[in-house]
Structure 1
Amino acid sequence: MSERDRTKWNIKYRDRKELLERNEPARFVREYVDLAKGKRAIDLACGGGRNAIFLAKRGFDVDAVDLSSVAIEALERKSAGLPVHPRCLDLDRFDPPGGEYDLALMINFLDRALLRRVAEALRPGGVIVVETYMTHPDNEKRGNPDFLLDPGELRNFFGKGFETVVYEEFWSGEEESCRMRKQGVVVKKGSDG
C-alpha cells in the first residue's frame, strides 16, 4: 500500500472517530471463534481493534496489524493490559511467520494475495475467518472493484487442504454506514497442512 493509502486512512480515522469506537465484534468472529483450538491469533487490517479486543478477552494472544498509525495508536490505548500487540505495517509487504497462528481474521478488508500468504502460514488445524464486501447491483456504495469480492468468490477461494465450515452472502448490519452485500467464510486448515 502506498503512503497515499496510509494518509487516506489516517484522515478517515481522525475525521470519523466513531470508526475507532466500535465495540461489537464482527458477526462471523463472534459466531465462529470457538472453532480455533489454539489461542494465538492475527487480526489483519484491524482498524480500531474491536475484533482483536474481543479475542483477547476470550484468552487469545493477538497480533493486530493495520496500515493506519491513527488506528494503531487508538488500539494501543484501548487494549492496555490485554494481550493485544498492535503493529503499524504495510499489509502489501507483510509476510506472516509460518506456523504462528491458530486463528486469522480479515474483516471489512480484502487483499487476496495477503489472504493466500496467511492461509499458507496458518498452523495445521488453524481457522481463517473472512467477512467483507462484495459486488452487488443494490449496494449503496460502489467502491473499488479490486477490493470487492465477486459473487461466490470466497466459497472457492481456499483450495486443497482447507475445509469450508460455513459460507454465506448477506447484507451489512446496522453499524455500517451504508447498505452493502457481504460474504463471510470460515475455513479450517487440514492437520497435514
Structure 2
Amino acid sequence: MAQKDRLKWDTKYSDGHHLIEKGEASFMLKRFYHKAPAKRALDVACGTGRNALFLAEHGFEVDALDISPVGLQRLQGHAEQISGAGTVNCQVVDLDEYSPPKANYDLIVVTNYLNRCLIPKLARELREGGVLVIDTFMVDSRSGAQDFNPDYLLRAGELPTYFDGAFEVLAFEDARKGRCNTALLKQAIAVRKIPA
C-alpha cells in the first residue's frame, strides 16, 4: 500500500497545476498556533507544506512528514526562501508504520488526511500545554462527491470523541465548507493538552 500511495502523491505533486496543497495554512491552525507553549511543531501528511511553511515563518522548528519525496522536495525548496527564524526538517515517512516519540511537540497539525489509529498516538506526542489541530474531510451525502472512500472521511461529530478529559477543546467546527477544489465538507478541531 505504501508504494502505491507514494506513486499516487508523487504523480500529483509532479504536476505544477495540482490544487490540493496550494493556498493558505489551515484556518484552525492560524487561529491557535500562538497558543503553543513553545516552538517545536510537527506537520503530519504535509504534502508540499503550506502549514509547515506558515509555522516556520512564525519561528517554529517544524518536522514535516509525508510519504511523497516529490512533495517534500518542493517543500524544502520553498523552506529555503523563508525569511522567518523557523526551520523545516522534511522526512519521508509511511504514516501507517509511524511510531512517534512521546511528548516531543508543542504543536501538531494534520490537514486533509485521516488515519484514525494515528490520532491517539499524536495526542500522546504533545507536551503539556501543547496544541493539536486536525482539519480534514467528512462524510457528506449532500455534496454529490460520492467517489471518496468513506474510510478516509470523518463522521459527523467524530473528532471530539478522540479526546478525553486530559484535553481542552479550544474549538470544533463540523460540516464547514472546504476550499480544496472539492465539494466535500470538512471538520476541524483544536485541542490543548491540559498540564497535569
Aligned residues: 190
TM normalised by structure 1 equals 0.92
CA RMSD of aligned residues (A): 1.6
Q: Unaligned regions of 5+ residues in structure 2, if any? A: none
Q: Deviations over 1:121-170 (max 9, x none)?
A: 21111110000000011224231111100000012221231111110021
- Give the letter aligned to residue 189 of structure 2: V
| SS of residue paired to 1:166 | strand
The corresponding residue for 1:27 is 27
| Structure 1 contact 20–48 (Cα < 8 Å) conserved | no
2:140 aligned with 1:136: yes
- Give the letter aligned to residue 163 of structure 1: E
| SS of residue paired to 2:168 | strand
Q: Unaligned regions of 5+ residues in structure 1, if any? A: none
Q: 1:155 to 1:21 in 2, by over 3 A?
A: closer
Q: CA deviation at 1:19?
A: 3.5
| SS of residue paired to 1:75 | helix
The corresponding residue for 2:44 is 44
Q: Which moved more, 1:9-18 or 1:124-133?
A: 9-18
Counterpart among 167, 171, 176 of residue 172 in structure 2: 167
The corresponding residue for 2:187 is 183
Q: 1:67 to 1:155 in 2, by over 3 A?
A: same
Q: Structure 2 CA distance, aligned partners of 1:138 and 1:16?
A: 31
| SS of residue paired to 2:117 | helix
Q: CA deviation at 1:114?
A: 1.3
Q: Deviations over 1:77-125 (max 9, x none)?
A: 1101650001111011111111210000011111111121110121111
Q: 1:21 to 1:158 in 2, by over 3 A?
A: closer
Counterpart among 51, 65, 86 of residue 90 in structure 2: 86
Q: Structure 1 CA distance, aligned partners of 2:15 and 2:111?
A: 21
| Structure 2 contact 69–92 (Cα < 8 Å) conserved | yes
| Structure 2 contact 41–60 (Cα < 8 Å) conserved | yes
Q: Deviations over 1:25-82 (max 9, x none)?
A: 1111111111111100000000010110100010110000000111011111110165
Percent identity between the aligned chains?
Answer: 38
